[in-house]
Amino acid sequence: MKELIALARARPAQLTFASPGIGSVQHLSAELLKTIEKIDMVHVPYKGAGQVMPDLIGGQVLMFFCGMAPAMPHVRAGKLRALTVTTTTRSPAAPEVPTMIEAGVPGFDISNWFGVFVPAGTPKDIIAKLNTEMVRALKQPDVKDKLSSQGAEAVGNTPDELERFVRAETAKYSQLVKASGVQAD
């Protein structure tokens, strides 16, 4: 990562990074790197993540912030090189890959997460039952192992905790979009 940052500084606006679209977590991950390290790289937006991988492997784009599941088979096959993970802790799916913070990029913490949402006005007893069953499923050893092998962590928290998390994520990304100047097309 230090070499990539040094190269980006030596060649401003010449290195490319791909994303599956403007405003995606992958795009914003690169924008956070640019903001923290004060580097200038060129964004190449694609129409979906599936289109990025062949061009990344083929060298048409230099870098892509990608999920573990689609990336690691190519890393293990020697077609791609994993530089870092974007979370604050190493991934069980690739414990040899350092975090961005370990690689010298302070304050970098981005994760791709999933939540389950229901329509507004859903009765609280239905929400409680759904939450209980989903948390129970996420705690099953086979589910935890399957998710972990793909670089995912099963959290399974309460609806109130999810709401607080979503609010914090919204504030974080709003700040990043404002700081980076990302514009929707």
Q: What CATH number corresponds to the domain at position 70?
A: 3.40.190.10
Q: Is residue 145 part of a domain?
A: no
Average pLDDT of the residues of the chain? 93
Q: Is residue 96 part of a domain?
A: yes
Over its C-alpha atoms, the chain yields an Rg (Å, rounded) of: 18
Q: What is the pLDDT of residue 154?
A: 83
Q: Is residue 73 part of a domain?
A: yes
Q: What is the pLDDT of residue 156?
A: 84
Widest CA span in the chain: 58
**Domain count of the fold of the chain:** 1
Place of tokens 């990074």: 17
Q: What is the pLDDT of residue 50?
A: 86
Q: Is residue 181 part of a domain?
A: no
Q: Is residue 48 part of a domain?
A: yes
Instruction: Give the structural domain span for 60.
Output: 2-111
Q: Is residue 179 part of a domain?
A: no
* 16-57 pLDDT per residue, tens: 999 999 999 999 999 999 999 999 999 999 998 889 999 999
CA 83 to chain centre: 14
Q: What is the pLDDT of residue 67?
A: 87
Q: Please report the DSSP string for the chain in residue order.
A: -HHHHHHHHHSTTT-EEEESSTTSHHHHHHHHHHHHHT---EEEE-SSGGGHHHHHHHTSSSEE---HHHHHHHHHTTSS----BSSSS--TT-TTSPBTTTTT-TT------------TT--HHHHHHHHHHHHHHHTSHHHHHHHHHTT-------HHHHHHHHHHHHHHHHHHHHHHT----
The predicted model gives 63-78 an average pLDDT of 91
CA distance 68 to 13: 27
Q: What is the pLDDT of residue 185?
A: 65
* 82-126 pLDDT per residue, tens: 999 999 999 888 899 999 999 999 999 998 888 999 999 999 999
Q: Is the distance from CB of 23 to CB of 182 less than 8 angstroms?
A: yes
Give, in order, the Cα–Cα distances in Å from 77 to each of 56, 81, 185. 14, 10, 36
Which pTM was predicted?
Answer: 0.86
Q: What is the pLDDT of residue 68?
A: 86
Residue 6 corresponds to which tokens in the numbers above?
Answer: 């040094």
CA distance 49 to 69: 12
Q: Is residue 43 part of a domain?
A: yes
Q: Is residue 33 part of a domain?
A: yes
* 126-154 pLDDT per residue, tens: 999 999 999 999 999 999 888 887 778 88
Which one has a higher pLDDT value, 154 or 176?
176
